[in-house]
Amino acid sequence: MDIGKELKRIRVSQGMTLEELSNKCGYSKALISRVETGSVSPSLTSLMKMVSSLGLKLHDLFTSIERGQASVVRKGEARRFFTDGDSTTEFLAMNIATKKMEPIKITAPSGYSSGKEPIVNYSEEFFFVLSGKIEVTSGDQTYKLGSGDSMYLAAGTPYQWQNTSKESAEVITVVTPPQI
């Protein structure tokens, strides 16, 4: 198990420099570099502080090492939660905190809406409609999307969406960087 190598992979994947991590966790760039190269083994307290400065928990670091680069989620095994109006959200990848994308499948019943207030993610977002119909409103523009249609929203674009059909709609959305 190469903790330093994984720590570096996560730091670099987040676009964070040694100096930025050093400023966040309070350890020198030299120490962090030695940890990343494996020439120094950090104390548990030091490692927890470095990992926390990357926005992760220690568990996330070890889980990402154990799982390697592949993340497989089998049908029926996705983490799910329900929101108002019986909408179901399923996370289609594990250990999102260590990834650059957050793929989600949303199943929204007829009439479901994302809410009265626009959503503003400071991430890029991509929608793909698997089934049903949705309307996405951004500013004064409304886009009607049906099965097989897709939409890309630039970071910071306020939007709302709703299921306008009489049947459930299934939508895959991918957010980068992850919001969770």
Which residues, listed in sequence order, are joined to residue 131 by a DSSP beta bridge? 170
Q: Pick 62 or 176 by higher pLDDT.
A: 176
**Cα–Cα distances in Å, from 65 out to 4, 5, 47, 70, 147?**
10, 9, 14, 11, 38
Task: Determine the pLDDT at residue 17.
Answer: 92
Which residues, listed in sequence order, are joined to residue 142 by a DSSP beta bridge? 137
- What confidence tens digit (pLDDT) does each residue in 62-78 have? 665 555 566 777 777 77
pLDDT above 90: residue 179: no
Task: Determine the pLDDT at residue 101.
Answer: 82
Task: Determine the pLDDT at residue 79.
Answer: 72
- What confidence tens digit (pLDDT) does each residue in 29-51 have? 999 999 998 888 888 788 889 98
- What confidence tens digit (pLDDT) does each residue in 90-129 have? 778 776 666 778 898 999 999 999 888 898 878 899 999 9
What are the boundaries of each domain within the chain?
Answer: 3-67, 79-176
Range list of β-strands (E), 38-119: 79-82, 88-91, 102-108
What is the average pLDDT value for the chain, to the nearest integer?
Answer: 84
3-67 CATH pick, 1.10.8.350, 3.40.50.880, 1.10.760.10, 1.10.260.40: 1.10.260.40
**Amino acid at site 41:** S
- Residue pair 54/12 in contact by the 8 Å Cβ criterion: no
Strand, coil or helix: 84 = helix
Q: Tell me if domain 3-67 and domain 79-176 are identical in fold.
A: no
Task: Determine the pLDDT at residue 158.
Answer: 93
CATH number of 79-176: 2.60.120.10
- Residue pair 136/143 in contact by the 8 Å Cβ criterion: yes
- What confidence tens digit (pLDDT) does each residue in 130-173 have? 999 999 999 899 999 999 999 999 988 999 999 989 999 999 99
pLDDT band at 82 (very low <50, low <70, confident <90, very high): low
